Chains A and B, each alone.
Chain A
Amino acid sequence: MSAPASPNRSWYKRNEISVTPWLFLIPGILFFAVYVIVPIFQSFWISFHEWDGLGEKTYIGTAHYERLLGLGDQKIDRKFEVSFWNNIRWLVLYLLAIPLGLFIAIFLNQTVRGIRIYKSLFFFPFVISQVVVGLVFSWFYLPNDGLFDILTGFFGIDVKGGVLGNPNTATYGIIAAGLWPQTAYCMILYLTGLNAVDPEQVEAARLDGAKGWKMLWYVILPQLKPATFIAFVVTIIGALRSFDLISIMTNGGPFGSTRVLSFYMFEESLSEFGFRMGYGSAIATVLFFIMLGFIVYFLYSMWRDEKEAR
């Protein structure tokens, strides 16, 4: 450290470069800590308590988790089990948005007249709120009067009680509704990616006789890797966050068959069944740790890219 250049230079001026970033960070970090970081740990804490959201918390240790997972002599919480498996269904089927998005992107990646308007109209569903998407699809699925029922009727298929009224089909119906905006999102990612594909490599591959699938797999997809990564991130996060559609389209029913963890948590903590914040927090914690697996992987990938960029 060098001696102060002149005695009347204030401490701030001397340390400007090391102090400034913190001054700029303080408001952001403060907000983020109060509303995001600290609540995560508070939720862990609450999950070890019995709490109705108003009165005193009673410490009960891991009892909530034992009840959830059916440890000891209890049976696993049936609602939790259904929700968990539905989450898995969401995760797996939601990933279909990625190939579907790629397919549409390839279909639209041309330069005919008016193609820009086509691209934005295809992207349209993503801009609309999930609440509206949910409403629209629930009318589409109406038993007897819904377009879906009429169309399947032509093939002699009749879903008993309508798609959303039948416990065997309801979750799939909601996932299909969710795939609609999600596919649009993946499409726009891939359209941007395809735009940046190196034309020289494509031409070279073409001269070597690469065509169709082979070209896509060996030449195009490797160049689309950043787009694919982001598509994975947003799709997985979106699948595990699914709440709006379920709440709007079936409210968890019929017979609780469309619950997912996020919805079940909400139901336990804030619904007519009473305010079981402790149990709700325990469900949220389980969901958080499922998500954490993905988050760690995403962060690791980003961190690796950061290292390479240096």
Chain B
Amino acid sequence: MFPTPIEKRTRAAQLSYQGLLPLALIMWLLPLIAVAVFSIRPDADFTNGNYWGMPSSFEFFENYGKVFFESDMPRYLLNSVMITIPTVLGTIALSAMTGFALGIYKFKGNLLIFFMFIAGNFVPFQILMVPVRDLTVNMNLYDTKTGLILFHIAFQTGFCTLFMRNFIRALPFPLIEAARVEGVREWQIFLYVVLPLMKPALAALAVLIFTFIWNDYFWAVVLTQGPDAQPVTAGITAFNSQYRAAYHLMSAGSIVAALPPVLMFFLMQKHFIAGLTLGAVK
């Protein structure tokens, strides 16, 4: 193991390591801790210039109550959910299929199509912006959730195909050959042989895509406007102009907006990390 396990070092080294850990963590998360504290401060603290000291009172319910009951935040949150969930399902369905086709079959152009998906996944968003916006407007989908969902599904399919294909590649191929010998149809192989084995990959992609889409800001701004369709990342800017310089409310709003992916991460940590670190180990 590298570095040398701390248990093999002196007692002093062990103690200082254990002391250093929480200290380093607090330093690392300082900005977040600050926002968390901001979000429970009373308004008066900011007018009195007490930004970073002890909060003068605990206003958790007051502040978060305002976010949930006196602003458009709940609508934005709902929009985010209604954009994110269909995107996750659609992307997973499409990329399970493309991954299956590219991972199992040998045919001309296989690698070419695979690399097309990867390359497309790396392009800057701006090269797509004008035509995609134009297309969305022409389909009468501008400022709708559907417009955003369709684009997200298409774009995320690139990354997910890479993931699925490599995952399927690592499955034992004799299994599929055995099924073929038994006379199992190809689509049945997909449904009953490959898909059940792909559960870890599906879970990993589901949490990853959930996070990516929930946190998307650029496309939300390009393809939607206003509280009818905008997700919470774009909504938070409107929320902030409503409560300009009301740092306690803006902090509470930010925390609410950031929370769902955070929960997702802590609940599905293993899958999340497996997805992100795909290929980091040979």
Contacts and interface: CB of A to CB of B under 8 A. Distances in A.
The reply to whether chain A is a binding partner of chain B is: yes
Interface of A: 16-18, 20-22, 24-25, 27-29, 31-32, 34-40, 42-43, 46, 53, 106-107, 109-112, 115, 118, 120-125, 127-133, 135-137, 139-140, 142, 145-147, 150, 180, 185, 188-189, 192-197, 199, 202, 215-216, 219-220, 226-227, 230, 233, 237, 240-241, 243-244, 247-248, 261-262, 265-266, 269-270, 277, 280-281, 283-285, 287-288, 291, 294-295, 298-299, 302-303, 306
Nearest to A277: B130
A135 B254 contact: yes
B68 to A, nearest CB: 17
A302 B218 CA distance: 28
Interface of B: 1-3, 5-7, 17-18, 21, 24-25, 28-32, 34-35, 38, 49, 51-52, 94-95, 97-98, 100-102, 104-105, 107, 110-111, 113, 115-120, 122-135, 150-151, 153-155, 157-158, 161, 185-187, 190, 211, 214-215, 217-218, 221-222, 233, 236-237, 240, 247, 250-251, 254-255, 257-258, 261-262, 264-266, 269, 273, 276-277, 279-282
28 contacts: A21-B101, A27-B97, A28-B157, A31-B153, A34-B135, A35-B151, A35-B154, A37-B120, A43-B130, A109-B1, A110-B6, A123-B265, A128-B261, A131-B233, A132-B255, A132-B257, A132-B258, A135-B250, A145-B51, A150-B52, A192-B273, A244-B217, A262-B126, A266-B218, A266-B222, A281-B130, A288-B126, A299-B118
Nearest to B24: A107
A124 B29 contact: yes
Given A25-B113, A32-B158, A247-B217, 4 more contacts: A112-B21, A136-B34, A142-B51, A195-B281
For the complex of A and B, 3 pairs with smallest distance between CB atoms: A35-B154, A129-B215, A39-B131
B2 A192 contact: no
A125 B32 contact: yes
